[in-house]
Chains A and B, each alone.
Chain A
């Protein structure tokens, strides 16, 4: 991936503004509306949402079961949804277990549960990740400093259609006394994608 800072990006910024201006003249975009929608999106969608979902699933078996059976139906229990984007998407939550570790990718482009978690990290969109994780997920996870145990099978989910996947990490040991908010604080975006344990 090339470095777009400096001259090239400056030229790009100007071209984007130019096209935006033309589109506004044609009535196809509304710059103020655009800014407002962007702000609303970034305020609403973030990994913290995924962390809340995970924490709730850790403390509430009924919610966990509902989440795994139909995530879209379960999200509103926390005031969350996969709506508000270009189109509503189906969320599928895949649970890590003692014997299975899940990891998500979109080899063809960069599909990701953006309505819930916000934009994906650049590495997720990179050719390096997309090419390697389906072929050698163990090596990719080691690159992130994570090694599932020897008896753990890795399951890679490639978002080739309309479903967007999120990992439900295993609850770490020694967290029995923690409340939901503290549990949520343990969950990282990398854990939700599956390149970390949690």
Chain B
């Protein structure tokens, strides 16, 4: 039941483009970011919106450089992302150049 990620961890967001409601925006999919902190535990909206049972899971503030998201920009964008949207960023999961 422990949080999968800790502040400072590097994560990669899902590339999935689901037919249902989700809270991972297109612009932040398949992107490498850094966990800032845990924001709490909440049931996954993808499931709740479809009337499916949903146990609370960690939500993390994850920060991305704009260049990672849009190929340009000097700013940072931080999103609050459910654990289900994230996997560890490793050599295997790192997106290609």
Question: Are A92's CB and B75's CB within 8 A?
Answer: no
B10 to chain A, nearest CB (A): 18
How far does the alpha carbon of A163 sit from the alpha carbon of B61 in the complex, in Å?
9
How far does the alpha carbon of A135 sit from the alpha carbon of B75 in the complex, in Å?
9
Question: Are B70's CB and A135's CB within 8 A?
Answer: yes
Q: Which partner residue on chain A sits nearest B74 by CB separation?
A: A153
Partner of B40, one of A107, A138, A160, A162: A162
Chain A interface residue bracket vs B: 20 to 34
A102 to chain B, nearest CB (A): 9
- Residues in B with CB closer than 8 Å to A154 are 74-76
B13 to chain A, nearest CB (A): 11
**Total A-B pairs, Cβ < 8 A:** 65
Is B73 part of the contact surface with A, judged by Cβ < 8 Å? yes
A190 to chain B, nearest CB (A): 18
Partner of A159, one of B40, B74, B80: B80
Q: Which partner residue on chain A sits nearest B77 by CB separation?
A: A156
Question: Are B27's CB and A134's CB within 8 A?
Answer: yes
Main secondary structure of the interface of A (DSSP, over half): mixed
Question: Are A155's CB and B27's CB within 8 A?
Answer: no
- Residues in B with CB closer than 8 Å to A162 are 39-40, 42, 59, 80
Is A24 part of the contact surface with B, judged by Cβ < 8 Å? no
28 chain-A/chain-B pairs, Cβ below 8 angstroms: A90-B39, A90-B40, A107-B25, A134-B27, A134-B77, A135-B27, A136-B73, A153-B76, A154-B75, A155-B75, A155-B76, A155-B77, A156-B78, A158-B28, A158-B78, A159-B80, A160-B23, A160-B24, A160-B79, A160-B80, A161-B59, A161-B81, A162-B40, A162-B59, A162-B80, A163-B59, A163-B61, A163-B80
Residues of B in contact with A (beta carbons under 8 Å apart)? 23-25, 27-28, 39-40, 42, 59, 61, 63, 66, 69-70, 73-82
